[in-house]
Amino acid sequence: MANYELNINGRKLRVSAAQEETLLSVLRDRLDLTGTKYGCGEGQCGACTVLMEGRAVRACQTTVQSAAQAKITTIEGLEKNGKLSPVQQAFLEEEAFQCGYCTAGMIMSATSLLSERANPSDEQIERAMNGNVCRCGTYPRIVEAVKHAARIGALGGTR
């Protein structure tokens, strides 16, 4: 066990965890940030996606040690002053979910994509999001939601 200071959603949080422990385990089981989900533990499903310095990473494949130096954003950190981020707003308006368990990871991957490309094509969306699984099969709506978010972003929505 070692002590780490993590920068999560703009807050400095101290946590005691094992060196090889995953960021996912620390977020969910030690910090009660349960919006980030466990799906497979092997980086195959994307349910645990968070942003590290703005880029999508799999929290189940990231050790707490390697996360300690970085700015981490989880699904809980996207809403600002009661206002949803453009991606959250778009997912809600398109109802781009069924059971919703994959949604946090989808939103984080889409947020990462849109920060690199303001207006991605269908092919770019598919490539960027293909590591995220929706077992309910909501893919066509998720693609629509990402494009919708791009439009909200273009209209000056906050990020």
The site for other proteins (CB under 8 A) is made up of 17-18, 21-22, 25, 28-30, 32-42, 44-45, 47, 74-76, 78-79, 84, 88-89, 91-92, 95, 97-104, 107, 125-126, 129-130, 132-143
Q: Are 14 and 78 in contact (CB under 8 A)?
A: no
Nearer to other proteins, 115 or 139 (CB): 139
Task: Please give the torsion angle defined by the CA atoms of residues 113, 78, 41 and 102, in that order, rounded to the nearest 10 degrees.
Answer: -80
**Least distance in angstroms from the C-beta of 55 to other proteins:** 19
What three-state secondary structure class fits 23?
helix
Give the residues across from 2 on adjacent strands.
Answer: 17
Nearer to other proteins, 18 or 118 (CB): 18
Nearer to other proteins, 69 or 130 (CB): 130
Q: Integer distance in angstroms from the first to the last C-alpha of the chain?
A: 36
